[in-house]
A = this chain, B = another copy of it.
Amino acid sequence: MPEQLTLSIDAMGGDNAPDMVIEGIQVALTMKPDLQFLLFGDEAKLAPCLERYPQAAKACVVHHTADVITNEAKVAHALRSGRNSSMRLAIDAVGKDEAHGIVSAGNTGALMAMAKFVLKTIPGINRPAISGYFPTLRGRSIMLDLGANVECDAKNLVQFAVMGEVFARIALNVKNPSVGILNVGVEDLKGHQSVKDAANILQTTDLPIKFHGFVEGDDIAKGTVDVIVTDGFTGNIALKTAEGTAKMFGSFLKTTLTSSPLAMLGALFAKSALNKFKERVDPRSYNGAMMLGLNGVCVKSHGGTDAIGFANAINVTVSLINNSINEAIKEDYARVSFDQAETDQQVDPK
């Protein structure tokens, strides 16, 4: 555990950046007052925000750059022309060991591509994956990949399982997390060849992983397993489908509780209970997705979050650094039976 943690921050990423970012730093400092920040962004825009949040200002060293990666920027363009962007310079600081980790609420695709280019993947890991939280009936689970890799073969999925298990141990604080592969049925015969092969490897290899087998879409919210492994196409759609359904429910509920004077009175009586309900499903408390599999801790905050959500992403980052997540992944991954993984690659050479 490093004595003095320094985080590198893309101050220009996110819908309400840089104000939201700097207020988020101030919120994070109330919990962890010793944190230091390298702040990358447009000095002219940062200065008034830093004046508004003096505690944050004290903990930040500003590195000026006028370049920004927009949400609309294509990944190839960001890689080619974004060398002086706030996002890229923030990643570079981790690559140069000037910061212990980086947080950005900017363009996800660009962040993943630039982080991969600068930090490189952990030896043996073919593709990094985006790993994030889901609320469940039991508490919370994590899922990966949430969108970095549209196509995944069995070997990728096995690597996601190893990385996700380590992430869950740290981020969920679960001793022996259970891991499941997302599928359209729980029987061995169902699904794509890649999920069948990955399940086979996880069942037969001597990895220290509590492998549950296949899980279905409704197992996500049930909390059947701690870690849900899937390809980035399916994971992204599951994440956004769940987010959309949750928002729809929230909207229906709001309409319901304001639909009549009696309903409004009822909502008033139930206010304290309803506030707890809101907290339980507050997306801000699930903020902070890690780009797993890189030589460095790179955390993506939701672009639309506020200061509290951004502070949560900072907290996740600190916890991952303090628990040496990448060392733990390397240790576990060394135990994967490569013979089986190679065999698999011949079976499913996508």
Contacts and interface: CB of A to CB of B under 8 A. Distances in A.
Interface of A: 74, 135-137, 147, 150-151, 182, 184, 189-192, 216-222, 230, 232-234, 236-249, 251-253, 255-257, 259-260, 262-263, 265-274, 276-277, 280-281
Contacts of A257: 270, 273
A218 B241 contact: yes
A221 B245 contact: yes
Given A234-B234, A234-B237, 9 more contacts: A147-B184, A184-B236, A217-B240, A217-B241, A221-B248, A252-B280, A256-B273, A256-B274, A262-B273
A192 B236 CA distance: 13
B263 A150 contact: no
Contacts of A274: 256, 263, 266
Interface class of chain A by DSSP? helix
A281 B246 CA distance: 12
Given A256-B270, A266-B270, A249 B217 contact: no
Given A263-B272, A269-B262, A274-B256, A136 B239 contact: no
Per assembly, the copies of the chain total 2
Contact of A232 (B184, B232, B249, B276): B184
Contacts of A234: 233-234, 237
A195 to B, nearest CB: 9
Nearest to A74: B189
A220 B272 CA distance: 31
Instruction: Give the most central of A222, A240, A272: most B CB within 10 Å.
Output: A240
Contact of A270 (B74, B147, B249, B263): B263
A151 B231 CA distance: 14
A248 B263 CA distance: 23
B249 A237 contact: no
A244 B262 contact: no
Contacts of A151: 192
A137 B253 CA distance: 12
A273 B259 CA distance: 7
Contacts of A281: 249, 252
A253 B256 contact: no
B273 A182 contact: no
A299 B237 CA distance: 26
Q: A232, A272, A273 — which one has the most chain B CB atoms within 10 A of its CB? A: A273
B246 A217 contact: no
Nearest to A236: B184
A220 B192 contact: no
Nearest to A277: B256
A273 B262 CA distance: 9
B233 A217 contact: no
Q: Which 9 A-B pairs have the closest CB atoms?
A: A217-B240, A266-B270, A266-B269, A218-B244, A221-B244, A263-B273, A217-B241, A221-B248, A256-B277
A152 B241 CA distance: 20
A217 B238 CA distance: 7
| Most chain B beta-carbon contacts within 10 A, residue among A136, A151, A237 | A237
